[in-house]
Amino acid sequence: MDVITSTNGHFFKSEEFCSEVVKSGLQHLIICLDGADQETISKYRKNAKFEDIVNGLRLLNMTKKRLNSKYK
């Protein structure tokens, strides 16, 4: 069985959280940015910070590499 979830990306703020997500066995993660820059994302997500979300996704990617995750 495939495990899939989606998120707006706001919770990838710590390496510990990212490690838990990677170790969970989640096979597919859909991330909805709701915009390609701060101006656009602000129209759809109150108090969202585009740069924080992008940095969180970078942290998640680095964590996947560090833990040798087989999932892309």
Give the domain ranges of the chain: 4-66
pLDDT for position 24:
92
The phi, psi pair for 6, rounded to 5°, reads -130, 160
Ordered DSSP codes for the chain: ---EEEE-STT--SHHHHHHHHHTT--EEEE--S-SSHHHHHHHSTT--HHHHHHHHHHHHHHHHHTT-S--
Q: Is-contact 7 28, C-beta < 8 A?
A: no
pLDDT by 10s per residue, the chain, length 72: 888 999 999 999 999 999 999 999 899 999 998 999 999 999 999 899 999 999 999 999 999 999 999 886
Q: Which residue has the tokens 């490690």?
A: 19
